[in-house]
Amino acid sequence: MLIAKDISKTYILNERKGFLKKKKTEINALKKLNLTIKPGSIVGLLGVNGAGKSTTIKILSTILAPTTGSLKVNEVDALKYPVEAKKLLNVITGGERNLYWRLTARENLEYFGALYGLSKKELKDYIPSSLSLVGLKDSNIPVERYSKGMKQRLQIARGLVNNPKYLFLDEPTLGLDINIAKDLRQYIKKLAHQKNKGILLTTHYLSEVEELCDWVYIIDKGNLLTEGTPSDIVSKIIPEIQLKIELSNLSCELKKELLDYVGAIDAKIHFFKDHTNYSILLSSKDDLTSDLVNIITKYRTSILSFKTEEPNLEDALLTLTSKQGDSIYELVKGN
């Protein structure tokens, strides 16, 4: 089991003020985060940009030392013995990084395998089976001529070269077409449930989290906001009925009446504007459809769409981060 306890990371930023003076600013990228990854499970790590996801992965993979806290990987103290811990870990990133483009697939695997101390015999056995496993052939074609999907499949083979117990997947389906991304998600499930790998997944595709993850941590500005199964997080944050209404216009008078209305009941309302239209997201334990239609039509505003939706993880994440002041939504809650 991988257990991170109270891990924090503080950076000191030196900013120059004038020609001689320097100002030191303390940045807390991570604040006493507790995180556990069990073998055979897929754990999601979510947050907006700048939430601390990359810092967390760097610490868990022993690339970066935390300012405070502890990290154990299968009882190995990863902070005292990072070399031993690295044998149990690997990182697979999305996009086209962490490969040498002028080398072939075999040459890439030989290189990365050598870094982990694999013998020539071990590599001779591993490379053909791993390339076959991810649907690639051993050829003399350099990686720079691979498609995005082929590069990402090679990334997986590279990430498994040391047979790690724990894999950190940093946006693994980034830039992949829908069919390849689907195949990759199936392979991630296989790694966890059949190969007993502990997997940490970061992604901006929340449907992947709902499909894959057994447990989810949501962080913001280095703080843990909540954790749980995807369904538990949704029901905890949004236990109400959700109405989504799209309007052609939203006058100040209409907005004020809507705010007054929800202020008198147990409801929450969010306002959102795109380039041309306005949207209202209202959450309540009761069905308020009739009242809302009456209020909106009174102001001769056209209703472009009106639908009741089951909340999903994206809705929960938006609601949660709006409370931190980072969302595009304006959150107003009735007393």
Residue range 163-192, pLDDT digits in tens:
999 999 998 887 778 888 888 899 899 999
Q: What is the distance between the alpha carbons of residues 165 and 88, in angstroms, rounded to a whole number?
A: 5
Checking DSSP bridges between strand 42-46 and strand 215-220, what pairing results, if any? parallel
Q: What is the distance between the alpha carbons of residues 245 and 178, in angstroms, rounded to a whole number?
A: 30
Q: Are residues 65 and 202 in the same domain?
A: yes
pLDDT score of 333 more than 50: no
* Cα angle, residue 26 at apex, residues 22 and 29 outer, rounded to 5°: 140
* Cα angle, residue 150 at apex, residues 100 and 37 outer, rounded to 5°: 85
pLDDT score of 97 more than 80: no
Lowest mean pLDDT among 103-112, 228-237, 274-283, 314-323: 314-323
Q: Which of 165, 200, 234 is the last residue of a domain?
A: 234
Q: Are residues 32 and 105 in the same domain?
A: yes
Contact residues for 231 (Cβ-Cβ < 8 A; gap 6+): none
pLDDT digits (tens, 9 = 90+) for 240-268: 778 889 998 899 999 999 999 998 987 88
Residue ranges with strand state E in 232-277:
241-247, 267-273
Q: What is the distance between the alpha carbons of residues 212 and 188, in angstroms, rounded to a whole number?
A: 8
| Mean pLDDT score across all residues of the chain | 87
SS3 helix, strand, coil % of the chain, rounded to 5? 35, 30, 35
Overall pTM surpassing 0.85 (yes/no): no
Q: What is the distance between the alpha carbons of residues 250 and 280, in angstroms, rounded to a whole number?
A: 10
Helix or strand (DSSP H, E) at 30: strand 21-37
Average pLDDT score over residue span 78-99 = 89
Q: How many domains does the chain have?
A: 2
Q: What is the CATH number of the domain that holds 297?
A: 3.30.70.260
Lowest mean pLDDT among 210-219, 238-247, 272-281, 326-335: 326-335
Q: Are residues 259 and 224 in the same domain?
A: no
Q: What is the distance between the alpha carbons of residues 291 and 161, in angstroms, rounded to a whole number?
A: 61
pLDDT score of 116 more than 60: yes
Q: Are residues 230 and 244 in the same domain?
A: no
Q: Quick one: pLDDT at residue 211?
A: 94
Q: Quick one: pLDDT at residue 334?
A: 32
pLDDT score of 330 more than 90: no
**3-class secondary-structure state, position 305:** strand
Q: What is the CATH number of the domain that holds 38?
A: 3.40.50.300
Q: Are residues 258 and 229 in the same domain?
A: no
